[in-house]
Amino acid sequence: VLWKPFALHAAQKLLTKEHFDAVITTSPPLVNHLIGLELQQLTGVPLIADFRDLPEWHPFFEQGTPLHRAHDRHIVRNVLSAADGVIAVSPGMRDHLRRMSQGRRDIAVIPNGFDRADFAKHAPKKNERFRIGCVGSFDTGHPVEPLLRSEEHTSELQSHSD
């Protein structure tokens, strides 16, 4: 990845100017963990690796060559073996990472979510346009139809509550 050396250089610069208790990396992309591993090796700062998604769980993964898939698994195994802490997005991913690491037990689960209190003051007003922002992918493995059905259901509920 072309931007990796620049990110590594910028992070090293920050680490020389300020004290950090740990470096936290999140993936995808896996290159973030590679940067974290290098920082850990160069500076001794603990690495916490956060796995939000695994390449092999993504439909595009199958489009790569067997060599690419093996390389991605190798990166994940290296991160699992070297990281001082590991976070998974779900119990299923935690269990999968445990198998990949041959039994690492200290994998924490922090699911995606939000705190309603953070959004209470931003609640939409009646008749305000409803907007959805997508940060992610819609493809054969991540279809848009369930989201559209949930929006239809929400509209039905709103019309019945008027």
Highest mean pLDDT among 11-20, 49-58, 68-77: 11-20
Euclidean distance between CA atoms 100 and 86, whole angstroms = 13
Condensed to tens digits (0 to 9), the pLDDT of residues 79-122 reads 999 999 999 998 989 999 999 998 889 999 998 877 778 777 77
> Which residue matches tokens 């059905």?
149
pLDDT of res. 97: 93
pTM: 0.72
3-state secondary structure of 130: coil
pLDDT of res. 38: 95
Whether 162 has a pLDDT exceeding 60, the answer reads: no
Condensed to tens digits (0 to 9), the pLDDT of residues 16-65 reads 999 999 999 998 888 999 999 999 999 999 999 999 887 776 665 566 78
